[in-house]
Structure 1
Amino acid sequence: MLSIEIKVEALHAWYGNDEVLHGIDLAIEPRSVTAIIGPSGCGKSTFIRCLNRLHETNPGARVAGHVWVGGEDVYRMDPIDVRRTIGMVFQRPNPFPTMSIFDNVALGLKFAGVKDRRRLRARVEESLAMAALWDEVKDRLHQPAMSLSGGQQQRLCIARALAVEPRVLLMDEPTSALDPISTMRIEELVQNLKQTYTIVIVTHNMQQAARIADQTAFFLDGHLIEVGPTSKVFTKPDDKRTEDYVSGRFG
């Protein structure tokens, strides 16, 4: 039997009285890429924010159901521990603007209690290397993070998420604000990172999902309509609504 890294069971989510996720069940294998697709407002971003308990930080937001990561129920864990276990990269690069490149990556480690400068530097270097950024910034680590290009800033945010050694990396449309070359670099990076991490990526780009995802899940109106191997979802979907979406009839 295949192992499961993330198991979502009967997941519901609300903003106030508005239910936006309706009983989502989904299993994700370790060291794989799962793309979450669907039209705007279908619940994609809410879903991944539920995985690391960011959804509940919104006033009036609540969740019911279960999310297990590595066999642990994240809703029984300390939220800080959850967000170390499940890293997040957002749609637009969000480096801390007053901090250097080095300090952006090191911040999470310092919060985790790492004080030894040598250990900090080694982990920062390793994280920047994993994010395919080390060679570009190794001679200017103490320059402002905002001196980087948009694509470099997004890879810096990936390095920051990786520094605390998560099990899972969530990515919410991480290339939607980037140029084609930067997008390609992020996609190549995702393919490399899945050798170590389990990745869940929200994308509006059907071609991107087809290029990088092992599994694709199609959401519509807060429901999970279909999930399966990406090639099947795009070429032989079981549900007519999936076929209509991936073929561009709506969305």
Structure 2
Amino acid sequence: MSQSISVENLRAWYGDHLTLKGITMELEANRATAIIGPSGCGKSTFIRCLNRLHETIPHGRVSGSIKLGDEDLYRMDPVDVRRVVGMVFQKANPFPTMSIFENVALGLRIGGVRSKAEIIERVEKSLRMAALWDEVKDRLREPATALSGGQQQRLCIARALAIEPEVLLMDEPTSALDPGSTLRVEELVQALKSSYTIVIVTHNMQQAARVADKTAFFLNGELIEYADTAIIFTKPSDKRTEDYVTGRFG
């Protein structure tokens, strides 16, 4: 069952450079939240803080609080955090030396699942949830790199889902995809949000409008406005938000 994420006064640095300047917001359970804003505004840094990837960068550090339900993510083991907060990156990154099946199964094996029957069942379930099963069910032993770019991205989504996280983070997951593959991923987001808390970074205003229940506008490391998506795109309360979503800058 998914839970909300509460972010309070989150600051993030690269060395001496302050990238996020005190972000406070609630990411609702069973909703898709879009993070929008111009390049360099802190969008990707923000979601990398949500599963503690930011601190893996040399001289990357954070302050503030991030809670999943009642659990403080920064008091948990980072490996445990990444089991409950999954991540899909901008560029599909299947493990090139592994088969389609093993790409999805690897996280289960690392997590201690030993039952062959359970692994087979969960791999199939994850591929079905990623709307990929029918396309690959007869190709599971082929290398993942034999798939198209859009299929590889859905494979990475299946890989993230296999370990049964509560939150799914997506960092511009369709920016390298063709329109047809983009549509499949967007349909997938719509289907998954009933079971997961989803946070998606996107440069595509139309995509945010299509898939997100709520949208947050970031600018220069600050959260300028956070509201229902329809409000952000039709009646924003801040002039800077209006200027961005109407294409006046960014």
Residues 1:167 and 2:204 are matched in the alignment: no
How many residue pairs were aligned?
249
CA offset at residue 70 of structure 1?
2.2
SS in structure 1 of the partner of residue 170 of structure 2: strand
What code does the residue aligned with 2:209 have? A
TM-score w.r.t. the length of structure 2 is 0.99
Match of 1:109 in 2: 108
What whole-Å deviation, never above 9, does each CA across 1:165-208 have from its counterpart, x for those lacking one? 00000000000000000000000000000010110000000000
Give distance in 2, aligned partners of 1:215 and 1:6. Answer: 14
Please report the TM-score for the alignment, with normalisation by the length of structure 1.
Answer: 0.98
Task: Please give the residue correspondences for 1:164-203 in structure 2 after superposition, counting only pairs within 5 Å.
Answer: 164-203=163-202
Distance 1:191 1:70 in 2: 22
* Letter paired with 1:103: E
User: Is this contact kept in 1: 2:100–2:143, CA < 8 A?
Assistant: yes
2 CA distance for matches of 1:179 and 1:116?
A: 38
Q: CA RMSD in A?
A: 0.9
User: Within 1, Cα distance between the matches of 2:3 and 2:27?
Assistant: 6
Counterpart mapping for 1:189-228 below 5 A: 189-228=188-227
Amino acid at match of 1:55: H
The 2-side partners of 1:182 and 1:70 are apart by: 33
Instruction: Report the secondary structure of 1:175's partner residue.
Output: coil
Structure 1 stretches of 4+ moved >4 Å: none
The structure-2 alpha-carbon separation of the partners of 1:167 and 1:233, relative to structure 1 and needing over 3 Å to count, comes to same
Please state how far the C-alpha of 1:4 moved relative to its aligned partner. 6.3
- Report the equivalent of 2:68: 69
Partner of 2:45: 46
Q: Match of 1:199, SS?
A: strand
SS for the counterpart of 1:21 is strand
Q: Percent identity?
A: 71
Counterpart Cα distance in 1 of 2:71 and 2:218? 25
Note if contact 1:5-1:71 (Cα within 8 Å) is conserved in structure 2: no
One-letter amino acid of the structure 2 residue matched with residue 249 of structure 1: R
Corresponding residue for 1:32?
31
Unmatched 5+ residue regions in structure 1? none
For the Cα contact (< 8 Å) 2:32–2:197, is it kept in 1?
A: yes
User: Which letter maps to 2:94?
Assistant: P
CA shift for structure 1 position 28: 1.4
Give the Å deviation of 1:71: 1.7
Unaligned stretches of 5+ in structure 2? none
Question: In the alignment, which residue of structure 2 is the partner of 1:17?
Answer: 16
Q: Does the CA contact (< 8 Å) of 1:24 and 1:224 recur in 2?
A: yes
Match of residue 235 from structure 1: 234
